[in-house]
Amino acid sequence: MPSRDGIAEPWGTRTPYGPGERWPTRVDTRLADGVTADDVDEWVPTASVLHSNGDGLHLAVKDGRVVGVRGRADDRVNHGRLDPKDLFAWQANRSADRLTTPLVRDGGRLVEASWDEAMGRVVERSRALLGDRGPGSIGFYTSGQLFAEEYYTLAAVAHGAIGTNHVDGNTRLCTATAAAALKESFGCDGQPGSYTDVDHADVIALFGHNVAETQTVLWSRMLDRLAGPNPPLLVCVDPRTTAVARAATVHLAPLPGTNVALMNGLLHEVVAHDRVDHDFVERSTVGFADLAEQVRQWPPERAAAICGVPAEEIRHAARVLGGARRLLSTVLQGFYQSNQATAAAVQVNNLHLLRGMIGKPGAGVLQMNGQPTAENTRECGADGDLVGFRNWNNDAHVADLTELWNLDANAIPHFSPPTHLMQMLRYAENGSLRMLWVSATNPAVSLPELARVRSILGQDRLFLVVQDIFRTETAELADVVLPAAAWGEKTGTFTNADRTVHLSRRAVDPPGQARADLDIFLDYARRMDFRDRDGARFPPWHDPESAFAAWQRASAGRPCDYSGLDYDMLAERSGVQWPCNAEHPDGTERLYADGKFFAAPDYCENYGRDLVTGAPMEATEYRAMNPDGKAMLKAADYVPPHERPGEEFPLSLITGRTVYHFHTRTKTGRTPQLRDAAPEVWVEVSAPDAEAHGVTEGDLVEVSTPRGSVRAHARVSAIRPGVLFLPFHYGYWDTEAPPDGDREHHRAANELTMTDWDPVSKQPLFKTAAAALTRIAAGDRPAAAPTTGAATPLDPTVPATTGGPAATVQETHAAEQTAGGAR
């Protein structure tokens, strides 16, 4: 059986295939040292949780402990493959520093407490606030890493029982723009495409999507197409020279914040050269005249002057996109976290609508997610939307939900869109929000402008509840800390970026007194004694399966229809794509295959927003604009970023991920193989900028913006000149002496980012900041940055990132598998 170093080779061995062929199976297995497959007592089904790809896998359990993972050969998403984080990070579940007991703040310190004591405090404060200040004084900030059952329960508790409008998820940071762009173009959230489009595409275009590091298995699929016969052409838009850029036919590296100008330039060419499917546009869309007029004003030369990309490269890319017969586009944070996020992402949808390339094999859009369960946060209504993609501005939808929950007619607030996180934070800052319950996320490291975030979360008058598996930087600021069960220690379902639903079964017990998030939310509901309008306990469900059944009823008839699924079917079949109902009992591979959209005025999730001002459209406007519920072509003019390089801060700073870490490293930083692959923060600098600042590989430098400074070792890379990159993973929980005051915070990238968000999706703009670079000291070795992805050094003598014997992964290829092992 072949093996590989899972750190040195994140994408594994190539299994080439041609267009229309089935992607070959390759099963990746990683078991603890000394354990073999024969020793394993039980293989428990689940899927990956440290990215959004949704790779089906089994957890290996022996003697009540997780001892490894194995990819599922029969899973539609990964055909057996696993990401480096999946292969190793399960070890973090049993870290010695897991939270095992509730904590409460006494005399300024967090001390251990019983569940009764901790929940008693939460209930007492909730009741006092509801009595004195009303439901608008309470907010919930959840995650993209819990399960559907948990989000649905939280939505019912917060929107229904408490009646607060303040509910959001950290999906706001990762995928809010995906949802917003889909609503703008198609009237409703819901991923149009499928990962299987990679199998058929003749052009794959990646817009701000470093798939090689964010969804490694999807990149393996693309690499296998590139290695096979008749490979697709690749278009990459990214200011960094990522692994994708290195493989691309055309690589456009625009200045940060100029995506709309670039997209308008590309669409100008598509329209000017009439690469438009006029039949499709006529039959299935509205808005063509406005879009054509907008992009007419964007010849490539004009876009080139703004983006800093040669006009000829824009023309080249447009020729490739315009010549595609089966075009697959993907979009992620390079668009979602940049200036004019939604407007830019919508232009990718426009490209597909203009070309009539949607809903067909190889012709699709993937507006990607960053997190494993972000799709559920969106569809369950825990992130600034209502349950089941219901429209907050449609009284009939709200009434339907009220009826479903059997609550009083006015129980669910819908006078405005549910409050997004950044606005909630502002309400906490001005003192009108007095209790914030944070579950499975770490805002004290992940939000922009951290000095401000700390000043808000640290206020005495704000009652902060933190529910997590580790004592995070945010937990340190809490009044009550609730220890949660991790993935593998609880049961539930979750859905990936291409609508594939997986069941994740409890494999082992949680440590100490830690409890499943679902049980914590339900315990709160019982202690608060929430009742429906007939006096029955609300929510009425009591465990994962009954919560799932309730969620199925809530989703029935909506685009995200789960009514045809159940736990046994999911365990048996591995991933199934929604909608899955009586009409589509096996799920649905692609949305909009029939050119019909979820956009009818009475059905749509949203009436849309102005792409520049963010102002919501009203029902009457929407009916006039789109009476027949077609897809919508929406034009947007370019607006410059709100902070631009100047004399004092001459460079653009962007932030992002590495393949070896997830978010604030709560798990990956506690996983030896992953921790050692990227142990310390670094900053990527181009060769010309390095030279101008007297910096060489490994030097200690300071990156500063008007908000703070970070010290890091320099990685001289092929990033676009004028741009600096900092990974956002590094906080303070594993620094030797955690800092006391703001002047000591010099590690987290978000010390430097600004508070600004896209007015449409409300996603914070982590990729807009003007920065200065200063050399502090010479380095005595290269920066401790990975050599495998976008951080590849220009200096060829830098030692390659490897994992050594501790990172050995077994690969089983299709030919070696026993009959029936793969479908």
* Edge-to-edge strand list for the sheet holding 492-495: 492-495, 500-504, 576-577
Alpha-carbon gap, residue 684 to 652, rounded angstroms: 12
Q: How far apart are the first and last CA of the chain?
A: 20
Could you say whether residue 297 binds other proteins (CB under 8 A)?
no
Q: Closest approach of Cβ 171 to other proteins, in Å?
A: 19
Nearer CB in complex with other proteins: 549/639: 639
Alpha-carbon gap, residue 781 to 769, rounded angstroms: 29
Could you say whether residue 646 binds other proteins (CB under 8 A)?
no
Q: Closest approach of Cβ 144 to other proteins, in Å?
A: 23
Residue 439 tokens read as 């579950």
Nearer CB in complex with other proteins: 396/615: 615
Q: Which of 610, 676, 702, 795 binds other proteins (CB under 8 A)?
A: 610
| Contact yes or no for 168/419 (Cβ under 8 A) | yes
Please list every residue from 621 through 640 that binds other proteins, using CB under 8 A.
639
Q: Closest approach of Cβ 434 to other proteins, in Å?
A: 9
Q: Is the sign of the CA dihedral 446, 448, 454, 460 positive or negative?
A: negative
Q: Closest approach of Cβ 436 to other proteins, in Å?
A: 14
Q: Which of 294, 423, 442, 666 binds other proteins (CB under 8 A)?
A: 423
Q: Closest approach of Cβ 646 to other proteins, in Å?
A: 16
Q: Closest approach of Cβ 167 to other proteins, in Å?
A: 14
Nearer CB in complex with other proteins: 165/349: 165
Q: Which of 114, 416, 546, 620 binds other proteins (CB under 8 A)?
A: 416
Q: Quote the DSSP letter at residue 386.
A: B
- List of E strands, 374-517: 435-439, 463-468, 480-483, 492-495, 500-504
Q: Closest approach of Cβ 615 to other proteins, in Å?
A: 4
Q: Closest approach of Cβ 617 to other proteins, in Å?
A: 8
**Long-range residue pairs from 472-475, CB within 8 A, at least 24 positions apart, any chain:** 472/442, 472/444, 472/445, 472/664, 472/666, 472/731, 472/733, 473/442, 473/444, 473/445, 473/664, 473/731, 473/732, 473/733, 474/438, 474/441, 474/442, 474/443, 474/444, 474/445, 475/99, 475/103, 475/110
Region of 42-50, 266-274, 430-438, 537-545 interacting with other proteins (CB under 8 A): 430-438
Nearer CB in complex with other proteins: 55/643: 643
**∠ CA 753-258-605, rounded to 5°:** 80
How does DSSP assign 480-549, residue by residue? Answer: EEEEBPPTTSS-EEEE-TTSEEEEE---SPPSTT-B-HHHHHHHHHHHHT-B-TTS-BSS---SHHHHHH
Nearer CB in complex with other proteins: 249/755: 755
Alpha-carbon gap, residue 125 to 373, rounded angstroms: 30
Please list every residue from 71 through 100 that binds other proteins, using CB under 8 A.
none
Nearer CB in complex with other proteins: 410/416: 416
Which residues, in sequence order, are bridge partners of residue 810? 3, 29
Q: How many residues bind other proteins (CB under 8 A)?
A: 31
Could you say whether residue 230 binds other proteins (CB under 8 A)?
no
Please list every residue from 712 through 771 that binds other proteins, using CB under 8 A.
755-757, 759
Q: Which of 432, 546, 620, 735 binds other proteins (CB under 8 A)?
A: 432
Could you say whether residue 302 binds other proteins (CB under 8 A)?
no
Q: Which of 95, 100, 101, 459 binds other proteins (CB under 8 A)?
A: 459
The residue type found at 519 is: D
| Contact yes or no for 714/683 (Cβ under 8 A) | yes
Alpha-carbon gap, residue 289 to 294, rounded angstroms: 9
Q: Closest approach of Cβ 435 to other proteins, in Å?
A: 13
Region of 329-337, 358-366, 429-437, 678-686 interacting with other proteins (CB under 8 A): 429-437
Q: Which of 74, 117, 313, 429 binds other proteins (CB under 8 A)?
A: 429
Nearer CB in complex with other proteins: 177/419: 419
| Contact yes or no for 262/237 (Cβ under 8 A) | yes
Helix (H, G, I), strand (E, B) or coil at 590: coil
The residue type found at 284 is: S
Q: Which of 325, 533, 553, 642 binds other proteins (CB under 8 A)?
A: 642
Nearer CB in complex with other proteins: 423/792: 423
Which residue shows structure tokens 């600034």?
384
Q: Which of 123, 593, 612, 619 binds other proteins (CB under 8 A)?
A: 612
Q: Closest approach of Cβ 266 to other proteins, in Å?
A: 23
Q: Quote the DSSP letter at residue 597.
A: -
Which residues, in sequence order, are bridge partners of residue 701? 712, 775
Could you say whether residue 644 binds other proteins (CB under 8 A)?
no
Q: Closest approach of Cβ 759 to other proteins, in Å?
A: 6
Q: Closest approach of Cβ 127 to other proteins, in Å?
A: 18
For the window 115-154, what string marks contact with other proteins as x by the rule CB under 8 A?
------------------xx-xx-----------------
Q: Which of 107, 109, 415, 741 binds other proteins (CB under 8 A)?
A: 415
Closest CA to 206 of 242, 173, 180, 172: 242
Residue 121 tokens read as 């405090």
| Contact yes or no for 390/558 (Cβ under 8 A) | yes
Could you say whether residue 433 binds other proteins (CB under 8 A)?
yes
Q: Closest approach of Cβ 448 to other proteins, in Å?
A: 10
On the question of a cis peptide bond just before residue 540, with omega within 30 degrees of 0, the verdict is no
| Four-point Cα dihedral 102, 107, 108, 111, nearest 10 | -20
Region of 152-160, 231-239, 323-331, 416-424 interacting with other proteins (CB under 8 A): 416-424
Q: Which of 299, 616, 779, 821 binds other proteins (CB under 8 A)?
A: 616
Helix 311-323, helix 341-355: angle, nearest 10: 50
Nearer CB in complex with other proteins: 515/762: 762
Q: Closest approach of Cβ 705 to other proteins, in Å?
A: 16
Q: Closest approach of Cβ 821 to other proteins, in Å?
A: 53
Q: Closest approach of Cβ 584 to other proteins, in Å?
A: 37
- Please name the residue ranges forming H helices in 95-138: 115-132
Q: How far is CA 365 from CA 37, 201, 739, 800, 822, in A?
A: 39, 11, 44, 35, 28
| Contact yes or no for 481/99 (Cβ under 8 A) | yes
The residue type found at 91 is: Q
Region of 26-34, 423-431, 709-717, 734-742 interacting with other proteins (CB under 8 A): 423-431
Region of 209-217, 219-227, 428-436, 535-543 interacting with other proteins (CB under 8 A): 428-436
Nearer CB in complex with other proteins: 524/638: 638
Query: Rounded to 5 degrees, what are φ and ψ at 677?
Result: -70, -25
Q: Which of 37, 289, 615, 692 binds other proteins (CB under 8 A)?
A: 615
Q: Which of 430, 741, 796, 797 binds other proteins (CB under 8 A)?
A: 430
Q: Closest approach of Cβ 495 to other proteins, in Å?
A: 29
Could you say whether residue 344 binds other proteins (CB under 8 A)?
no
Within 8 A by CB and 6+ apart from 343, the residues are 260, 611, 612, 636, 760
Specify whether the backbone of 138 is left (phi greater than 0), alpha (psi in -120 to 50) or beta: beta
Nearer CB in complex with other proteins: 84/139: 139
Nearer CB in complex with other proteins: 324/632: 632
Footprint of other proteins (CB under 8 A): 133-134, 136-137, 165, 415-417, 419, 422-423, 426-427, 429-433, 459, 610, 612-616, 639, 642, 755-757, 759
